[in-house]
Amino acid sequence: MTDMNTPVSSVCILGGGSAGWLTAALIAARHCTPDGSGLSVTLVESRRIGIVGVGEGTWPTMRNTLRKVGVSETDFLRFCNASFKQGAKFAGWRTQSPDDFYYHPLVLPEGFPSLDLAPYWNAQMRDDPATASFSDAVCFQEALCERDLAPKLITSPEFGGLANYAYHLDAVRFADFMAEHCVTKLGVRHVVDEVIAVEQADDGDIAAVVTREHGAITADLFVDCSGFSSLLLGETLGVPFRDCNDVLFIDRALAVQVPYNDAGAPIVSHTVSTGQKHGWIWDIGLQNRRRVGYVYSSAYAAGSSVEAELAAYVGPAFDRLSPREITIRSGHRETFWKRNCVAVGLAAGFLEPLEASALVLIELSADYIAASMPATRSAMEIVARRFNTMTLYRWERIIEFLKLHYMLSERDDTAFWRDNRDPATIPQALQDQLELWRHAPPGEQDFSSAHEMFPAASYQYVLYGMGFRTDPRFAAATLRDPDAARDAFDRTTALKRRLAATMPTNRALLDTLAQHRFQPV
């Protein structure tokens, strides 16, 4: 029987990859000590189990995570073949017309939230449908992305820039990079072995993971980063999986690695998401290659037709590539922390890679575990309840936000797009929000939790990019300061002109970084 007053002094993380090593880094950076008097952290992984590798897009939060665990941005970018990401471009999601695209940038609209430009832009659209797109009118970042420009200069400090940014990265090399840092700099014990059994205490707690060569590895807290198998939380503790395929239809991905035509080929500054007949294609640029994948619903399309669409997108080079199929089970565990086990990453759940939620959920979960590390087994019960409430809220909001991209489409060419507009597949909370947003733009009043995943500005970018309109006649009270709005629009125009003339391309900056370093902080 577990002594509830026993201090928590050891953590065992089962599984490597991005989830395992990010979790190890955040916990160890906060709790391990050079003399060994702090928390002990052990990571157990099998070399037989590969990395899924679809989590190659990050959020700006990754910059703070890397800085927090003591990583150099220069070294990270070099080792992981990483590049800068300034948002996402969605093409062909609304009408399939030649000009059917919009951006979800990583920079907030000018003046937001003290000044909300959405009502003024909606009024302009009513009077002049040829008005610039919402993202281009209220934010300078679309102009940078369209020119493949970087968000910073070689003279910028590490993790700092002139525009908000995240990264695209090689997930396999990232796991290796973090493993090296954790073991050599943070004191994490690394055990490479096969887990052949899981031992439980009489009260149901996990007592140990039993390995083939190292025997039983005990710990006070176990973090399940075992991937889709969810060996500890799902298989051992029996926490059920909650499907959300009634809302999000994607259940397959066909992915390829596409080499550049030449060493000087442009590196895009954003994720490109292009709508297809039965899903969409992602396209991200690293330093040495592109990662391209078609995520789709097998209920609407056979693999052969999907491969043909992907081949048409990639071009002649596709014949020399080896596509990899990945099965996606959209959803999450009903609870994420049970007894002395918490799941992070794929062991907790997975959704399609739209809006790159996989890695940020790992970051947020691992950071919370590190910051709220329970002192005793008794305190763990309280931390677990809070973690479960917070994490469930985050999953629900992500699911709603992803559905928003689909349900606003006007595409009528396939059943996949038509069925995504069926009200029966749209969460009621999202339907309620849309009814309110017909009369007033998304604002901070719509998102009151400290655990929101997407700010009101993100909803504005997607809503108005997909053709949704807020009738300004019902928002007259928000149009009371036209001079301030005009100044904000003018500042955006000036910023676009100045930055377009001064910023290097993504490729040029990363080439320079091979010889020089960013300024240390």
Q: Following DSSP, what letter does each residue of 203-223 receive, concatenated?
A: TS-EEEEEETTTEEEE-SEEE
Alpha helix ranges (H) inside 128-276:
134-138, 141-146, 171-185
d(CA 240, CA 64): 33
Q: What is the pTM of this model?
A: 0.95
For residues 175 and 322, membership in a common domain is answered with: no
**Is residue 232 one of the residues assigned to a domain?**
yes
For residues 237 and 180, membership in a common domain is answered with: yes
d(CA 131, CA 181): 49
Please confirm, yes or no, whether 277 is among the known catalytic residues.
no
Q: Are 292 and 283 in contact (CB under 8 A)?
A: yes
For residues 195 and 317, membership in a common domain is answered with: no
Q: Are 425 and 246 in contact (CB under 8 A)?
A: yes
d(CA 235, CA 221): 17
Q: Which pair of tokens denotes residue 150? A: 């970087």
d(CA 266, CA 229): 38
**Is residue 76 one of the residues assigned to a domain?**
no
Q: Which pair of tokens denotes residue 158? A: 């590490």
For residues 237 and 174, membership in a common domain is answered with: yes
Question: Could you tell me which of 66, 145, 51, 131 has the C-alpha nearest to residue 366?
Answer: 66
| 451-472 per-residue burial string, b: 16 or more CB within 10 A, e: under 16 | ebbbbbbbbbbbbbbbebebeb
- 10 Å Cβ neighbour count for 421? 15
For residues 175 and 52, membership in a common domain is answered with: yes
For residues 311 and 207, membership in a common domain is answered with: no
3-state secondary structure of 158: coil
CA-CA-CA-CA torsion sign (441, 445, 446, 452): positive
- 10 Å Cβ neighbour count for 98? 8
Catalytic hit among 85, 89, 152, 403: 85
**Is residue 383 one of the residues assigned to a domain?**
yes
d(CA 379, CA 372): 10
For residues 227 and 275, membership in a common domain is answered with: no
Question: Last residue of a domain, which of 396, 428, 451?
Answer: 396
Residue 5, pLDDT score: 79
Beta bridge partners, 419, equal none
Task: For the chain, 521 residues long, give each residue's pLDDT as a single digit of tens.
Answer: 567 778 899 999 999 999 999 999 999 999 998 877 889 999 999 987 666 555 589 999 999 999 999 999 999 999 999 999 999 999 999 999 999 999 999 999 999 999 999 999 998 888 777 788 999 999 999 999 999 999 999 999 999 999 999 999 999 999 999 999 999 999 999 999 999 999 999 999 999 999 999 999 999 999 999 999 999 999 999 999 999 999 999 999 999 999 999 989 999 999 999 999 999 999 999 999 999 999 999 999 987 899 999 999 999 999 999 999 999 999 999 999 999 999 999 999 999 999 999 999 999 999 999 999 999 999 999 999 999 999 999 999 999 999 999 999 999 999 999 999 999 999 999 999 999 999 999 998 999 888 999 999 999 999 999 999 998 666 566 688 899 999 999 999 999 999 999 999 999 999 999 999 998 87
- Locus of tokens 């809006």: 355
**Is residue 150 one of the residues assigned to a domain?**
no
pLDDT mean across residues, the chain: 94
Q: Which pair of tokens denotes residue 121? A: 């832009």
For residues 45 and 183, membership in a common domain is answered with: yes
**Is residue 290 one of the residues assigned to a domain?**
yes
d(CA 303, CA 372): 45
Query: How far, in Å, are 83, 89, 256, 282, 290 from residue 356 at the CA level?
Result: 15, 13, 18, 11, 16
Q: Specify the number of domains making up the chain.
A: 2
- 10 Å Cβ neighbour count for 10? 16
For residues 178 and 235, membership in a common domain is answered with: yes
Alpha helix ranges (H) inside 224-264:
none
**Is residue 478 one of the residues assigned to a domain?**
no
Print the domain residue range for 312. 252-327
Residue 501, pLDDT score: 96
Distance of CA 214 to the CA centre of its chain: 35
Question: Could you tell me which of 364, 325, 324 has the C-alpha nearest to residue 345?
Answer: 364
**Is residue 32 one of the residues assigned to a domain?**
yes
DSSP summary character for residue 347 = G
DSSP summary character for residue 72 = -
Q: Which contacts of 66-69 are long-range, i.e. CB under 8 A and separated by 24 or more positions?
A: 66/159, 67/158, 67/159, 67/521, 68/26, 68/29, 68/367, 69/25, 69/26, 69/28, 69/29, 69/181, 69/186
Order of strands, sheet of 215-218, starting from the edge strand that comes earlier in the sequence: 195-200, 206-211, 215-218
CATH number for 51: 3.50.50.60
**Is residue 283 one of the residues assigned to a domain?**
yes
For residues 176 and 321, membership in a common domain is answered with: no
Burial class from Cβ neighbours inside 10 Å (0-12, 13-18, 19+) for residue 81 reads middle
3-state secondary structure of 257: strand
How, if at all, do strands 10-14 and 221-224 pair?
parallel
Query: How far, in Å, are 116, 286, 331, 353, 509 from residue 84 at the CA level?
Result: 28, 9, 29, 18, 10
Residue 95, pLDDT score: 94
Question: Last residue of a domain, which of 396, 420, 442?
Answer: 396
d(CA 27, CA 39): 9
Dihedrals phi, psi of 264, to nearest 5 degrees: -100, 10
For residues 256 and 323, membership in a common domain is answered with: yes
For residues 232 and 343, membership in a common domain is answered with: yes
Question: Last residue of a domain, which of 346, 378, 396?
Answer: 396
Residue 1, pLDDT score: 56
DSSP summary character for residue 7 = B
- 10 Å Cβ neighbour count for 127? 8
